[in-house]
Amino acid sequence: MSAILECRNLVKQYGYFQALKGVNLSIEKGKIIGLLGPNGSGKSTLIKLANGLITPTSGEILINGKAPGEESKKVISYLPDKNYLNEWMTVEQLVGFFHDFYEDFDAHAALEMMARLGVRTGDRLKNLSKGTKEKVQLILVMSRKAQLYLLDEPIGGVDPAARDYILHTIISNYNEEAAVVISTHLISDVESILDEVVFISQGEIVLTSSVDEIREQRDQSVDGLFREVFKC
Amino acid sequence: MLKKLIHHEFIATGRIFLPLYGAFLIMSVLLRVYMELQNAWSFELPGWLGVIGAVPIILYVLLFIAVLAATVVVAIQRFYKNLMTEEGYLMFTLPVKVHQLINSKLLVAVIWSIASGLVCVASIFILVATPDTFITIGHWWKIIYLSAADQGLYLTGWLAFELIVSLLVGVVGSFIMIYAAIAATNFNSNHKLLMGIGAYVAISIVLQTVSSIVMTVLGMTFSQTLADMLLDSRNYMGFLDMTLWVSTIMSIITSILLYLGTHWVLKHKLNLN
Amino acid sequence: MSWVFQNDRPIYAQLMEQIKRRIISGIYAPGEKMPSVRDLAAEASVNPNTMQRAFAQLEQEGLLYTQRTSGRYVTEDEGRILQMKENLAKELTESYFAAMEQLGYSRIQAVKMIAATEKGEKES
């Protein structure tokens, strides 16, 4: 199977600080992958590089074999770890915006999910609660039929009910032809929906494995292994 | 895609400009009514109440300044906030080309500048127009035209065209210069404001130095021709023509260079934090 | 019945067990159509691939079968389900004995304990 995302000796340097120290990674379609690491380990940097929001210092990052560009942006659906949508826009306008620019966006499905959550589509984003805002962002991102979903901390700072809703949305919306990368440090929350995990620490990949493998061979959960690997 | 970007850019900027234009034009009407009433009844507020009498004028002037300032401030804000901050996460992950992003912002900024200019002219008309305003203007135009022609200056349609082109090039160029300075903030994440202002000043200095060098060199090279032109009053037009075109072409060249620089930074050196 | 997972074993194995329990208790009746992989995965909050793996294993064990066009069904072989039920009951009993043994009870004492508890509950 061909890799949708591939990194070759990927380095990203900020001044004297190396955020990524030569990462080699290959992610295939049809899998949900957890990009797991403590805060500041390089998770967001990796995801931003894949989106072309920052440029590599050296090495390569390839989407479908090509450097990030107009083509890769058509097939990547990205959820940043911050509020990145225009605050003055209404939910309806945002749905229209996504519909205008992404051919694979299903406006009908998005509006349906918004309605189910009780989001009033006439409301401006700035009038929504933090949790609702995050859900709106996730619904927009998951309403695309993308080949690669890059979700940066999708469950950071939401209550358990919202977390369940978010995971449910991810599982029921992703298609089998796609890969989903979920970056998080809250492992026990996402563990059951992952196929594979990538542990990243201080800009280096320290482990890649399937979840079942970890449980079968080490008799422990990914969360347990994570706590062991990243013990302070 | 460019069309869609422009469409959304208009929505994002129109919500600021349209109410502002509305308020400004309404204020113009109110001020006109106020002045007419003052004329008709020839009242004057005594003592410190006179200050209140100045309020409509102050409000009008403030709105006038706001309309002009908004064309620049909104252009800066739309380029900086929409592309270089969190909102850039959305804009730079859209399946569009970088030059489409720049072009949509540039085109919309230029259109609002023209609109602001027209609104200002309209406002002045509202303030001072009388039934015979156009006749008065025609009258003055004739006087100006004749006395200019007397000096060897012919205010032709061609000259108007040249002036409009050079004005347009100037407006487009100044927005591109602002964009280039904003793009430069990308290189220093800690002192963005300082970086932006510094880049703007640096670009201005470089452009001014280059243009004065070019002008001097041209002036010296063609000193004989120029002297001939200036001495012979019949050649004023030729001189004006040439200066206008030289400065316009130089402005076009620098704008293209700055545009390419901005594009290069956003395409190959982007570093959003 | 809600889906709960322990930390120390693969999730697909736990899914298999819990689906088996549902078949035994009749939540999924013999011959009934199973929910789709995606729906059940969403319900249990697990990865669809993991659910797929559990289904495939259950199919191999003969508890589920696939009809090419219309989906996946619970086996109609009630004897097979009964056998599975007995296996599960045996396992539970064994684990009861094992736990009692750790407390120092012999098997006979353990059986007496069951009888006594049953009687006590009836009297009260």
Rounded to two decimals, the ipTM of the complex is: 0.92
Q: Does any CB of chain A come closer than 8 Å to the CB of residue C19? A: no
Q: Does any CB of chain C come closer than 8 Å to the CB of residue A120? A: no
Q: How many C-beta atoms lie closer than 10 Å to residue A180's C-beta?
A: 28
Please report the pLDDT score of residue A6 as a whole number. Answer: 94
**For the packed helices A107-116 and A130-142, what is the interaxial angle rounded to 10 degrees?**
150
Examine the pLDDT at C11 and tell me if it is beyond 80.
yes
Question: Tens digits of per-residue pLDDT, B59-91?
Answer: 999 999 999 999 999 999 999 999 999 999 999
**Cα torsion through C51, C56, C58, C60, rounded to 10:** -170
Distant-in-sequence, close-in-space partners of A96: CB < 8 Å, separation ≥ 6 = A107
Q: Does any CB of chain A come closer than 8 Å to the CB of residue C10? A: yes
Q: Stretch C9-34: mean pLDDT, rounded?
A: 88
Contact assignment for A195 to C8 by CB distance below 8 Å: no
Q: Does any CB of chain B come closer than 8 Å to the CB of residue A51? A: yes
Our CA-based measurement puts residue C8 at a distance from the nearest CA of chain A, in whole angstroms, of: 4
CATH code 3.40.50.300 for A3-230: yes
Please report the pLDDT score of residue C44 as a whole number. Answer: 87
Q: Stretch A226-230: mean pLDDT, rounded?
A: 82
Please report the pLDDT score of residue A215 as a whole number. Answer: 86
Contact assignment for A215 to C41 by CB distance below 8 Å: no
- DSSP per-residue string spanning A68-132: SSHHHHHHEEEE-SS--S-TTSBHHHHHHHHHHH-TTB-HHHHHHHHHHTT--TTSBGGGS-HHH
Q: Identify residue B211 by its one-letter amino acid code.
A: S
Size of interface A-B (CB pairs under 8 A): 61
Q: From the list C39, C42, C47, which residue is nearest A195 (CB)?
A: C47
Chain A positions in Cβ-Cβ contact with residue C53 (cut-off 8 Å) = 212
Kind of pairing, strands A196-201 and A204-210?
antiparallel
Q: Does any CB of chain A come closer than 8 Å to the CB of residue C118? A: no
Does chain A reach chain C with at least 3 CB pairs under 8 Å?
Answer: yes
Please report the pLDDT score of residue B218 as a whole number. Answer: 79
Chain B positions in Cβ-Cβ contact with residue A83 (cut-off 8 Å) = 86
Burial class (CB in 10 A: 0-12, 13-18, 19+), B266: buried
Please report the pLDDT score of residue B136 as a whole number. Answer: 86
Kind of pairing, strands A148-152 and A76-79?
parallel
**Cα torsion through B65, B66, B71, B76, rounded to 10:** 110
State the average pLDDT for chain B: 88
* Residue segments in chain B with a per-residue pLDDT below the cut of 70: 43-47, 49-50, 226, 229-236
Closest residue of chain A to C39, computed from CA coordinates: A172
Our CA-based measurement puts residue B89 at a distance from the nearest CA of chain A, in whole angstroms, of: 6
Pick among A32, A165, A168, A171 to test the C interface (most C CBs inside 10 A): A171
Q: Does any CB of chain A come closer than 8 Å to the CB of residue C5? A: yes
Our CA-based measurement puts residue A19 at a distance from the nearest CA of chain C, in whole angstroms, of: 30
Contact assignment for B94 to A51 by CB distance below 8 Å: no
Contact assignment for C7 to A221 by CB distance below 8 Å: yes
Examine the pLDDT at A12 and tell me if it is beyond 90.
yes
**What distance in Å separates the CA atoms of residue A33 and residue A46, rounded to the nearest whole number?**
14
Does chain B reach chain C with at least 3 CB pairs under 8 Å?
Answer: no
B29, two tokens: 């009407």
**What distance in Å separates the CA atoms of residue B104 and residue B9, rounded to the nearest whole number?**
7
Higher pLDDT, A225 or C124: A225
Our CA-based measurement puts residue A53 at a distance from the nearest CA of chain B, in whole angstroms, of: 6
Closest residue of chain A to B85, computed from CA coordinates: A84
Please report the pLDDT score of residue B183 as a whole number. Answer: 93
Q: Identify residue A164 by its one-letter amino acid code.
A: D
Chain A positions in Cβ-Cβ contact with residue B96 (cut-off 8 Å) = 70, 73, 101
Chain C positions in Cβ-Cβ contact with residue A212 (cut-off 8 Å) = 10-12, 50, 53
Hey, which residues 30-89 in chain A have their CB within 8 Å of chain C? 30-32
**What distance in Å separates the CA atoms of residue B68 and residue C102, rounded to the nearest whole number?**
87
Please report the pLDDT score of residue B41 as a whole number. Answer: 78
**Three-class DSSP category at A21:** strand
- DSSP per-residue string spanning C60-98: HTTSEEEETTTEEEE-S-HHHHHHHHHHHHHHHHHHHHH
What is the number of residues in chain A?
232
* Percent composition of chain B: helix, strand, coil (DSSP 3-state, to 5): 85, 0, 15
Token pair 């990865």 is at which residue? C47
> Tell me, what DSSP letter sits at residue B46?
-
Are C12 and C23 spatial neighbours (Cβ–Cβ below 8 Å)? no
Higher pLDDT, B226 or A203: A203
Q: Stretch A141-168: mean pLDDT, rounded?
A: 85
Q: From the list A31, A168, A221, which residue is nearest C45 (CB)?
A: A168
Contact assignment for A212 to C48 by CB distance below 8 Å: no
Question: Tens digits of per-residue pLDDT, C34-81?
Answer: 898 888 888 888 888 889 899 999 989 888 888 877 788 888 888 888
Distant-in-sequence, close-in-space partners of B117: CB < 8 Å, separation ≥ 6 = none
Q: From the list B15, B93, B271, which residue is nearest A73 (CB)?
A: B93
Chain A positions in Cβ-Cβ contact with residue B12 (cut-off 8 Å) = 86
**Three-class DSSP category at A58:** strand
Examine the pLDDT at A148 and tell me if it is beyond 90.
yes
Q: From the list B11, B95, B268, which residue is nearest A70 (CB)?
A: B95
Highest mean pLDDT: which of A4-8, A127-131, A163-167, B152-156? A4-8
**What distance in Å separates the CA atoms of residue B238 and residue B228, rounded to the nearest whole number?**
11
Distant-in-sequence, close-in-space partners of B22: CB < 8 Å, separation ≥ 6 = none
Examine the pLDDT at A19 and tell me if it is beyond 80.
yes
Our CA-based measurement puts residue A140 at a distance from the nearest CA of chain B, in whole angstroms, of: 12
Highest mean pLDDT: which of A110-124, A196-210, B95-109? B95-109
Distant-in-sequence, close-in-space partners of A196: CB < 8 Å, separation ≥ 6 = A31, A32, A33, A34, A208, A209, A210, A211
Q: Stretch A189-214: mean pLDDT, rounded?
A: 89
Q: Does any CB of chain C come closer than 8 Å to the CB of residue A131? A: no
